[in-house]
Chain A
Amino acid sequence: MRTRSWVAVCVLAGGLAFFLSGTVQAQTIKIGINAELTGDIPKVGEGTKYAAQMWLDDVRAAGGLAVKGKKYPVELILEDNESKAESAVKAATKMITEDGVLVMVGPQASKQAVPAGGIANNYKTPMITPWSTNPDSTKNRPYVFRACFLDPFQGPVLANFITSEFKFKKAAVLYDVASDYPKGLAEFFKKAWEGLHGPGSVVAYESFTTKDTDFSSQLTKIKNSGAQVLFTPQYYNEVALIVQQAHQLGWKNPIVGSDSWGSAETVKLCGKDCYGLFFSTHYAAAGATGATKAFIDRYKAKYGYVPDDVAALTWDAMHLVQKAIQDTGGLTGDLKKDRENVRAAMGRIKKFKGITGEMTFSGGGDPSKCAVIVRISDKGQFEFYKSACP
């Protein structure tokens, strides 16, 4: 009896397998999403996932991705990299060698994007990281691109803005020495500022370590240094603490920040203290027009909150990918050739109108694009103030 039932199970399973194998699909375009869904920065992964899914919905609604008159179905291969470098590498290897993705989007944070970029480059697979600002992600890697501007650009933009807007000559910097993004940006800002106003014009250059919450000693030093403006390229949780503590200590001058301020949480945590302050970023949600507004409204309606810069940059990255695939002039079906063609097409993209600004790739993997200076309005919204182009 026992044997017979086993045989029956096997036959059934085999039959089911045969049935399933009958549904052979047409060539599918697979796009890998390597996102930080769990770990330290799950909000970043969530924004990535949502923006990518919105793009997929559009493509599905259009009946597939049209490449040279032919419509291809699109599949997203979503992998969680746990905000860990080794998992990002594993996920990248898996989607490139196993799933056979044409292009990989992500990882977002530099800690993951730098090693994953190495993998993509080794396997000659185009990769675009929407958010990573570390120069190493794309350096000497013809197959790796990014959708955001770099810190060596953002630093001078802010230095120029403060100089022309307030006519200040003495600046102070407060940054996290243990985190690569603030540290790099602080250095670039200092260099640019001293280039404009001569050595010694950054009168206070103070640092702290990730997860510090008391900045009073640094801020007292900054206040006593005679600085006219404070630049702090920190993330939203620290921004709130720094700004509030500075005001408690009697600091009345402007405080200026960078694109890491561009999270909905900044104003929520900081409150009125942050009203009227400026920072540079990729896009301004309040007062946005055209495609940017359409994206924000749709995202808000679907997921219930205003998208932050990660989601907007991911959205642009997905469209860059789409444009590059469409520019190849037809897919050959040979993954190796197609990847090469997509890479070449992406490197040729000129004047791409993204929701975070116009992008042009000239040679390397870094786009030249404009930064936006945003003012936090008296209602706590991020208002477009000025744009600064290279």
Chain B
Amino acid sequence: MAGNLWKPYSRVPLLGWFFGALVAVTLERLAGAPLAQFLGLQKIPVLFGFSDMLKTPVSIPNVLLYLLAVYVVPAAAVTRLGASPANGIAAALYRFPMAVTAAVHLALLYAVLHVWAGASDYRVLVLRLTLIAVMLTLSLNVINGYMGEFSCSHPGFMALGAYCASVLTIGLFVDAELFGAASLSPALGRFLFPVALVLGGLLASFGGLFVAIPSFRTRGDYLAIISLAFLFIVKSLIENLEFVRGPRGLSGQPDWADLPTVFLWTVLCVWSVNNFVRSTIGKALNAVRDNEMAADAMTVDTRKTKIAAFLFGAFWAGVAGGLFAHVMRYVNPGNFGIQNLAEVLAMVYFGGLNSVYGSIVGAVSISLLGEALRPLEIFKWIIIPLLLILVMIFRPTGLIAFRDLDVASLLKPKANPGEGG
């Protein structure tokens, strides 16, 4: 039965799914509020109704009905009926250069997210933080997954990027007491914001060197301790730097990290990480992970490989940190501690090592789960770790580990049934 239901969907291309989702979210924008009211809900269930259901269990059937009526049924219907036109369009698109095809898909994906998030500022905020979590997870997966080193310095890289970008934007564009009058007009800021983020990323990369160089001589537990030490060094450094106001934290960042900006950076991050790990140096990373001596013997320059991986991972962590600072509009050295590390590590290992898919799935599911289960208070801290343990028992390397993200095959039209499997 389930197989029969599923069969038509196996030949829906990605484009078709995006169309279906777009119709569903548009429908929610148009008819969501009256439908929610009809069902006795006060408002549109904001995050798939989790907080409504957990706070007032009576509303569970109504929320489920809402989700069914707004998301599941329309999306399923449109996807199914639109499968052949979608395949046609996908086939036509596929003849263009890959960049054009990918851009069309991304535009459609952005449209879905934009319309969905447009219903509430809370959704926008959750989405932005989730996308930042995706970037962080991916950048950590390069080091912990692809290269197989257990690095604990990620919040440190993030802090470096966050503080560097914040100091630049506050100092240059915001009239904060801290650094005197703004020297550049805020109108210019939007264009120079990416520069600040990149500089933050580069500073984080520079910090990455302090972990990369010891990694020539040590591995495993020892490197983990060194990288943990690096995290504490960065935190103490910022706490003792008076010009960034030490433990009081830095506030007043301009509100430039809006949804399109964060989305674009996330796309850039996914694209570059995916290319990086599929390149020769990406394969060299795997070789270093599996057997460093053998890799060295097979002419892999292990030092260069390690440095590249650390600098690259730290760069994206720094950029994510810069975005995080501008979403929160406040940074404090306490934000970048062990708890933060534990969260990113959980996302990496939950989603799956050595896999771009896995990182995205891990970051999105842990972020959304964490947000959805917040009404449970202390039980949330039992449920999520328990899930993690279950994943570790049944899939020791994470949900979707060791899988390549092949963009070309993803965007391909699916004309022949059964081909996808």
- Write the residues of chain A forming the contact surface with B, with a CB cutoff of 8 angstroms: 10, 13-14, 16-22, 37-39, 42, 79-80, 82, 84-87, 89-91, 93-94, 97-98, 110-111, 114-115, 118, 123, 134, 136, 177-180, 183-184, 209
Contacts and interface: CB of A to CB of B under 8 A. Distances in A.
Nearest to A135: B248
Contact of B248 (A18, A20, A180): A180
Given A97-B121, A118-B330, A136-B249, A178 B236 contact: yes
Contacts of B129: 86, 90
Nearest to B58: A20
Contacts of A21: 37-40
A97 B40 contact: no
A181 B21 CA distance: 48
A37 B58 CA distance: 25
Contact of A179 (B37, B38, B247): B247
Given A85-B328, A178-B247, 4 more contacts: A13-B65, A16-B62, A17-B39, A85-B330
Most buried by A among B51, B65, B122, B247: B247
Interface string B357-386: 000000000000001001101101100000
Contacts of B247: 177-180, 183
Contact of A98 (B40, B122, B329): B122
Interface string B55-67: 0001101101100
Which DSSP category, helix, strand, loop or mixed, fits chain A's interface?
helix
B334 interface: yes
Interface in B35-82: 37-40, 43, 46, 51, 58-59, 61-62, 64-65
Interface residues of B, number: 44
Contact of B329 (A10, A82, A115, A123): A115
Nearest to B133: A86
A111 B332 contact: yes
Contacts of B334: 85, 111
Contacts of B251: 114-115, 118, 136
Contacts of B229: none
A325 B76 CA distance: 48
B183 interface: no
A18 B40 CA distance: 7
A93 B43 CA distance: 15
11 contacts: A17-B39, A21-B39, A37-B377, A80-B375, A85-B328, A90-B129, A93-B122, A114-B249, A134-B249, A178-B236, A183-B248
Contacts of B239: 177-178, 209
A261 B273 CA distance: 50
Given A82-B374, A178-B239, A17 B38 contact: yes
Nearest to A2: B1
B240 A177 contact: yes
Contacts of A136: 248-249, 251
B272 interface: no
Contact of A115 (B59, B62, B330): B330
A180 B239 CA distance: 9
A10 to B, nearest CB: 8
B28 to A, nearest CB: 15
B109 to A, nearest CB: 23
Contacts of A10: 65
B218 interface: no
Q: List the 4 shortest-distance A-B pairs measured between CB atoms, nearest first.
A: A21-B40, A20-B40, A180-B247, A115-B330
B182 interface: no
B126 interface: yes
